[in-house]
Structures are given as C-alpha cells and as structure tokens.
Amino acid sequence: MAISQETIQQFIEFIKLKVFDDGYIDRQEEKAILEEGVKRGIGVESGIAVIHQVCIDHGYALERMIDERAKEVLHRFANDGQVDKKEFDDAVALYKSDCKGKVKEDDIRKRLKQIMLDNEWKAKEGGFFGTKWFSAI
C-alpha cells in the first residue's frame, strides 16, 4: 500500500515540531516519533528514512546517526588496534559538536568507551609516564 504524500508531509511536520526546541533527537524521542509514524500508516523502515532525511535537510542532530559516526571515527583511529588518549579526545570533541552540546561530556566519554569495548578496540594507556585515562572513564 502506498503512503500518500500528504501523510508523509504531516509526518515531516510532526518531526519538526518534536525537534523544535532543541534540534536534537535522542533514541527515546526517535522511538516515539516512529510510533507516531506507525499510527499514521508509515512503516518503521520508511519512518527511519524520513527522520534521517529531515535531520539532514534541517541540520537536526540524531543520536543514532551521531553514534554511527563516532563508531566510524573510532574504527579509523583503531587501525593499529588501539586508540590513544588524543584520538579518543578528538572523537569526544567531534561527538560533542555533532550533538550540539545536548549530551554531557562525561556521558559522551562513557558512550565512546562502550563503543570501543563492544568492538574490542584497545585503549593505549599506561606506559612509564602514562595514565590510566581509559580505565578512569
């Protein structure tokens, strides 16, 4: 069954209204938006595509997209199997910029650490004068 252009446009306006205050969609908000889309007859996959496009078109920050980008950045940094403190801090700064400051830096560090742990990337820490920066997160 085809979805009418009017239904899609109403869904787009609903998304813009939900994001109006802060320009940021976290995972809970994304789920609520998708639930509204399903009520309107828009499937989950189509709803995700519409949300992504609206975020791209209007410069909104979508947590899911930011997490994916952070994972890609850390993957590039971990090309030798390890991420050093400077690389990690660069990834934190990028995440903070992407989320428009809506996520606290401590939470960003925890998220990035979890991404590293999930992908079994090691942190380059310690050494003779090194610190345990990763373990401290």
Query: What are the tens digits of pLDDT across the range 64-93?
Result: 999 999 999 999 999 888 999 999 999 999
Q: For residue 52, is pLDDT > 80? A: yes
Last residue of a domain, one of 16, 33, 59: 59
Q: How confident is the model at residue 132 (pLDDT cuts 50, 70, 90)?
A: confident
Q: Which helix (H) or strand (E) holds 77?
A: helix 63-77
Q: Is residue 130 part of a domain?
A: no
Q: Is residue 133 part of a domain?
A: no
Q: Distance between CA 3 and CA 80 in Å, rounded?
A: 47
* Whether residue 55 is found in the same domain as residue 84: no
Q: Is residue 95 part of a domain?
A: yes
Q: How confident is the model at residue 128 (pLDDT cuts 50, 70, 90)?
A: low
Q: Is residue 129 part of a domain?
A: no
Q: For residue 45, is pLDDT > 80? A: yes
Q: Is residue 20 part of a domain?
A: yes
* Whether residue 49 is found in the same domain as residue 76: no
Domain limits at 105? Answer: 63-124
Last residue of a domain, one of 20, 39, 59: 59
Rg (CA), the chain: 18
* Whether residue 50 is found in the same domain as residue 11: yes
pLDDT of residue 133: 86
Residues in the chain: 137
> What's the average model confidence in pLDDT over 109-136?
86
